[in-house]
Homo-oligomer: A and B are copies of this chain.
Amino acid sequence: MSSTFGTSLRVTVFGQSHSPAIGCVVEGLPAGFSPDMGALRAFMSRRAPGQASWSTPRKEADLPNIVSGLNQRGETCGAPLAVIIENTNTRSGDYDDVLHVPRPGHADSTAQAKWHGYQDVPGGGHFSGRLTAPICAAGGIALQILASRGVRVGAHLLRVGEATDEPFAAVQLDSPSAERLQGQLDMLSDGRSFPVILRESADAMIAQIDAARAEQDSVGGVIECVACGMPAGVGSPMFDGIESAIARLAFGIPAVKSLEFGAGSLVGSMRGSANNDPYGVVDGAAAPLTNNAGGNLGGITTGAPVLFRMAIKPTPSIARPQASVNLERVQPEELAIHGRHDPCIAPRAVPVAEAVMALALLDSWLAFPPQSL
């Protein structure tokens, strides 16, 4: 089904940008886990709108309300966990203009081709980026469960427009690299508002965003995400492998247009001798010495950090006039969008990348663990 993903850990997302509420149902959580609601709210606030100059002024508290799935002590109880998030700050009137004029880069025209006017148009309906809030609610709980199992997930902006950040130290697997990677993750979780490792990257990226907004335009970005501490042997060959699980979920996030693992698209230019990760004896066991594979081979974890990068397209809603067509009159009509939109959605998509990683890995772990001895 279109709004559901996962094999053992199943998440069903519901809601539209301007419906009374959005939310999700999470089936298959292990029983006995006590979600830290403060940490969950903090995680979700990294995605919430209205928080900074580079974000939409639409303010939504995005408080997750868990209405089922916990026992009276607040522990997961084996039943589906349902999260409700109220939509409080809807201004559907903003969309009266665009009901019949599809916004370039949005799903307005494809929703029309599919549902012939029955779709919920305002704010993009079910296609809205707001639907990433329930994904973050489910993902935030998955992150906490992974953390309790020794897995640490982090993400940052690797690129916004022409500005870049330092990549994760997740290719070399020696001790200095591992320490450097932990340091990077520490920095990213120190409460900073802009999710990059280097201070100067933040400045450069915010400058890119400000420039785009000044020109009534928007700009895209690339997010890099890593998970450290996964044991080897999690996942499955072929179509339920780690990469397929992350990919199905990642491309369900509006605006993601590319995804790569480890050495990624560079493998197309590489030699096998450079791309293959050799094995050595580490701590008394065989282990890869490098990580071009991005932490999985044949869909199964190697024990090295799982690493992906995904590109986020520039916000389609821009104030600059664009060519479109009035679908009722079937005539060209120029469109200038005056809603409340981020000039760059990539910063707010960083926690979404972490949620994607956490949900895919936890589901894979529950559904396809290493066979017990």
Q: Tell me whether A102 and B286 are in contact in the complex, defined as CB-CB below 8 angstroms, given that A77-B119, A247-B247, A298-B111 are known contacts.
A: yes
Instruction: Kindly list chain B residues whose C-beta atoms are within 8 Å of the C-beta of A120.
Output: 70-72, 77-79
Which of chain B's residues have a CB closer than 8 A to the CB of A231? Answer: 113
Instruction: List residues of chain B with CB within 8 A of the CB of A317.
Output: 272
Given A15-B82, A371-B78, verify A314-B267 contact (CB < 8 Å). Answer: yes
At the interface, yes or no: A178 with Cβ under 8 Å from chain B?
A: no
Q: Given that A105-B297, A109-B286, A281-B330 are contacting pairs, would A241 and B233 also be in contact in the complex, using a CB cutoff of 8 Å? A: no
What are 10 A-B contacts with C-beta separation under 8 Å? A5-B238, A12-B25, A22-B68, A71-B118, A75-B118, A77-B115, A212-B271, A239-B249, A259-B259, A280-B332
Of B215, B314, B368, which one neighbours A270 at CB under 8 angstroms?
B314
A27 to B236, CA, bound (A): 11
Q: Return the CB mask of A1-35 against B: 1 if under 8 Å, else 0.
A: 11111001010111110111111010110111000
Pairwise interchain contact A257-B252, C-beta atoms closer than 8 A: no
Say if the beta carbon of A320 comes within 8 Å of chain B.
Answer: yes
Which of A41-49, A147-155, A321-329 contacts the other chain?
A321-329
Given known pairs A219-B271, A220-B269, A257-B264, the reply for A30 and B279 (CB within 8 Å) is no
Contact A267/B259 with A27-B1, A126-B238, A248-B239 known, Cβ cut-off 8 Å: no
Residues of chain B within 8 A of A156, CB atoms compared: none
A348 touches B (CB below 8 Å): no
Chain B neighbourhood of A272, CB < 8 A: 105, 212, 217-220, 313-318, 320
Contact in complex: A76, B118 (CB < 8 Å): yes
In contact, A110 and B220 (Cβ under 8 angstroms): no
From A73, which residue of chain B is reached at the shortest CB distance?
Answer: B118
Number of copies: 4
Nearest chain B residue, comparing its CB with the CB of A157: B268
Quote the shortest CB–CB distance from A259 to chain B (angstroms).
Answer: 6
Least CB separation from A82: chain B residue: B14
A279 touches B323 (CB 8 A): yes
Cβ distance A314 to chain B, nearest Cβ, rounded Å: 4
Determine the residue in chain B with the shortest Cβ distance to A95. B72
Please judge, given known A-B contacts A239-B4, A318-B272, whether A370 and B114 are in contact too, CB under 8 Å.
Answer: yes
* A1 touching B14, Cβ below 8 Å: no
Cβ B118 vs Cβ A300 within 8 A: no
Q: Which residues of B contact A30 (CB under 8 A)?
A: 371
CB-CB under 8 A for A113 and B10, given A3-B79, A244-B252, A248-B248: no
Chain B residue, CB-CB nearest to A294: B257
Q: How far is the CA of A141 from the CA of B247 in the complex (A)?
A: 25
Given A110-B233, A126-B237, A371-B114, answer yes or no on A312-B267 (Cβ-Cβ < 8 Å).
Answer: yes
Report Cα–Cα, A170/B224, bound state, in Å.
28
Interface members, chain A 266-289 (any B CB < 8 Å): 266-281, 284-286, 288-289
Known contacts A105-B275, A110-B232, A115-B32: does B254 contact A257 (CB below 8 Å)? no
A132-187 CB contacts (< 8 Å) to partner B: 159-162
Kindly state whether residue A193 has any CB partner on chain B within 8 Å: no
Contact B257 A258 (CB under 8 A): no
Contact (A261, B258) CB under 8 Å given A118-B31, A251-B241, A298-B127 = yes
In contact, B247 and A257 (Cβ under 8 angstroms) = no
